[in-house]
Amino acid sequence: MQTKKNNVMVAPSILSADFGRMNEEVERMDKCGADVVHCDVMDGIFVPNITFGFKMIADIKKKTKLPLDVHLMIDCPERYVERFIDAGADWLTIHYEATDILIPTLEKIKKRGVKCGAVISPDTPVQVLRECFPICDIVLLMSVYPGFGGQKFIEKSLGRMSELKKLRVETGSGALLEVDGGITADNAEAIVRAGADVLVAGNTLFSAQDPAAVINGFHAL
Ligand code: DX5
Ligand code: ZN
């Protein structure tokens, strides 16, 4: 076991798991040292892909003690946050681009005792989060265009992460900074140096020969 220098948390994205063996896949990541389970919910409208909904979250919840980090890539998430909380979400993040009522929806999540977060896609300016930052427990920066696993990390995300870190100080927020998309053993160090507290990784972990070694490596950053 490596020492945790920056207390980096690792969140395997089950988008890259075998959906037919989800229980074993989650258990495998748990045994390999994952800190949270990242669950990508897609509606085919906000993003051009469809994954799963409440039932999958509820079923995973029954099988693991790890917190469930539910990333909603759905249009008007305010319609469904209550149901994802009822299903067992421990962290619930919603896209800035998907709703006209971001702050009230974050407050609604928080009131239920669940960690709330705002997400921005790669072309959305970081500064749009200024107002909601103090409410957020998590801010999630997409480092690929949302919709699919296995994409290449968008390099400008490093500068955007540094800007987010600065904005966190300016707004007096204690939010965790999470990065999602294209994270590998080669770029993780630079991402953590730029300010990431939570690394989401799908393809890198689920296709690894030895996912525990990759997770240990991330923890040692
Ligand atoms: C993309 C999802 C990510 C994705 C990350 O829309 O939000 O969580 O699964 O997968 P990798 O690590 O393969 O880029
Ligand atoms: Zn995600």
Question: Two tokens at 42?
Answer: 């897609």
180 is catalytic: yes
30 catalytic residue (yes or no): no
Ligand 2 center to residue 169 CA distance, Å?
Answer: 25
Q: Cα(203) to centroid of ligand 2, in Å?
A: 12
Q: What's the rounded Cα separation, in Å, for the pair 210 and 213?
A: 6
Is the whole model's pTM more than 0.95, yes or no? Answer: yes
Residue 40 near residue 71 (C-beta atoms within 8 A): yes
Tell me: the pLDDT tens digits for 68-110?
999 999 999 999 999 999 999 999 999 999 999 999 999 999 9
Enumerate domains of the chain plus CATH numbers. Answer: 9-219 (3.20.20.70)
Do strands 9-12 and 37-42 pair parallel, antiparallel, or not at all (unpaired)? unpaired
Distance CA 161, CA 142 (A): 10
Average pLDDT score over residue span 155-164: 98
For 169, the 3-state DSSP assignment is: helix
Token couple for 53: 């909904």
Residue with tokens 């509820």: 58
Q: For residue 160, which amino acid is it?
A: R
